[in-house]
Structure 1
Amino acid sequence: MGGGKDCRAAWLGGLVGLRLVDPDAAPEEPEVGIARGGGRVQKKLAEIVEQEVQTHPERPVEVFASDEHRLGLRPVTRRVWAPVDERPTALGHHRFAWLYVTAFVSPATGEVFWYLSNGISKPLFEALLASFAWEAGAGRERTIVLVIDNAGWHSEAGLTVPDGLRQVFLPPYTPELQPAETLWALVDEPVVNKHIASIAELDAIIAERCCHLAKQPDIIRGRAGFHWWPRKTNPN
Structure 2
Amino acid sequence: MTEALRHAERLHPRVSLWTMDEHRIGLKPILRRVWAPTGQPLTCPVQPRYEWLYICAFVCPERGESRFWLMPEVSKVAYQAVMTAFARSVGAGPDHHVVVVEDGAGFHACDDDEWPAGVQRVTLPPYSPELQPAERLWALTDATIANTWFESLDALTEVLGKLCAWLETQFDLLTRHTLFHWWPLCRN
TM range (shorter): over 0.9
Kindly state the Cα deviation for residue 87 of structure 1 after the two structures are TM-superposed: 4.7
Larger fraction in strand: 2
Which TM-score applies when normalising by structure 2?
Answer: 0.94
CA contact (8 A) 2:53 2:70 kept: yes
Report which stretch shifted further, 192-201 or 181-190. 181-190
Q: Distance in 1 between matches of 2:63 and 2:112?
A: 32
2:16 pairs with 1:51: no
Aligned-pair Cα RMSD in Å = 1.5
Count of aligned residue pairs for this structure pair: 188
Q: Distance in 2 between matches of 1:80 and 1:140?
A: 50
1:70 aligned partner: 24
Report which stretch shifted further, 135-144 or 176-185. 135-144
Which ranges of structure 1 fall in alignment gaps of 5 or more residues?
A: 1-44
Aligned to 2:152, which of 178, 198, 203?
Answer: 198
CA contact (8 A) 2:62 2:179 kept: yes
1:212 aligned partner: 166
After superposition, the Cα gap between the structure-2 partners of 1:107 and 1:209, relative to the gap in structure 1 and judged at 3 Å, is same
Aligned to 1:137, which of 71, 83, 91?
Answer: 91
2:87 pairs with 1:126: no
Kindly state the Cα deviation for residue 158 of structure 1 after the two structures are TM-superposed: 6.7
**1:1-236 equivalence runs, <5 A:** 45-56=1-12, 59-157=13-111, 160-234=114-188
CA contact (8 A) 2:80 2:110 kept: no
- Paired letter, 1:220: L
Kindly state the Cα deviation for residue 166 of structure 1 after the two structures are TM-superposed: 0.4
CA contact (8 A) 1:62 1:233 kept: no
Q: Distance in 1 between matches of 2:145 and 2:53?
A: 13
After superposition, the Cα gap between the structure-2 partners of 1:192 and 1:159, relative to the gap in structure 1 and judged at 3 Å, is farther
Kindly state the Cα deviation for residue 61 of structure 1 after the two structures are TM-superposed: 1.3
1:21 aligned partner: none
- Paired letter, 1:70: R
Report which stretch shifted further, 78-87 or 139-148. 78-87
Q: Distance in 1 between matches of 2:42 and 2:109?
A: 44
Q: Distance in 2 between matches of 1:179 and 1:227?
A: 11
SS in 1 for 2:114: coil
SS in 1 for 2:117: coil
Q: Distance in 2 between matches of 1:141 and 1:92?
A: 50
Kindly state the Cα deviation for residue 85 of structure 1 after the two structures are TM-superposed: 4.8
CA contact (8 A) 1:122 1:159 kept: no
1:11 aligned partner: none
1:22 aligned partner: none
SS in 2 for 1:138: coil
Kindly state the Cα deviation for residue 50 of structure 1 after the two structures are TM-superposed: 1.5
SS in 2 for 1:91: coil
**Percent identity (aligned):** 39
